[in-house]
Amino acid sequence: MQNKYVFMLFFLPVLVLGIVMGYYIRATRHNWVEVVVSGYDPKDFFSGYYMELQPNWRATDCTQFKNAECPIKAFRERYKFYIRREQSAKLSQAVNAGIVKLIFAYSDGHTPYIVDLLADGKSYIDYLSNESPTD
């Protein structure tokens, strides 16, 4: 009986570490592309706090893709980006100002997935934690 617990205590951290490493290996195999997004905060009480973001292909630099064409069909029409409630107002203002981009890991034939969100050229974590006196 004791051996089962020891095995579980060893196996669970190894499994979690393997998942995290798989995420980073997958992220480094693909090109990272920046897609300009627009969106809003739907203020949905039951689903939590998130931003509903839609790729804005007209404002996106398509030269970062193969043949300098945006692969619109490879991406979803909308993405949910979950954030804390107290941060939603500041990030919503950044989205409305048009200074938000989603960073995707992408290569042809693979499903793109979100790596980061940039607001005003900075990772959203840095952008939200950087409180200036004028905010």
pLDDT exceeds 60 at position 83: yes
pTM attached to this predicted model: 0.69
Identity of residue 19: I
**Average pLDDT of span 98-116:** 87
**Which one has a higher pLDDT value, 31 or 131?**
31
pLDDT exceeds 80 at position 47: no
**What is the structure's pLDDT at 135?**
44
Q: What is the DSSP string of 57-99?
A: TTTS-GGGSGGG---GGGS-S-EEEE--HHHHHHHHHHHHHT-
Work out the pLDDT band at 44, boundaries 50, 70, 90: low
pLDDT exceeds 80 at position 30: no
**What is the structure's pLDDT at 50?**
77
Q: Which CATH architecture has domain 31-129?
A: Beta Barrel (2.40)
Q: Which of 68, 79, 133 is nearest to 103 (CA)?
A: 79
Domain boundaries, given as residue ranges, for the chain:
31-129
Burial class (CB in 10 A: 0-12, 13-18, 19+), 21: exposed
Q: How far is CA 109 from CA 30, 66, 73, in A?
A: 11, 12, 11
**Which one has a higher pLDDT value, 108 or 3?**
108
**What is the structure's pLDDT at 54?**
93
pLDDT tens-digit series, residues 48-70 = 677 889 999 999 999 998 889 99
Q: How far is CA 74 from CA 32, 70, 108, 110, 131, in A?
A: 14, 9, 8, 8, 36
Q: What is the DSSP string of 38-67?
A: EEE----TTT-SEEEEEE-TTTS-GGGSGG
Task: Residue count of the chain, please give it.
Answer: 135
| Arithmetic mean of pLDDT over the chain | 81
Q: Coil, strand or helix: which one is 119?
A: strand
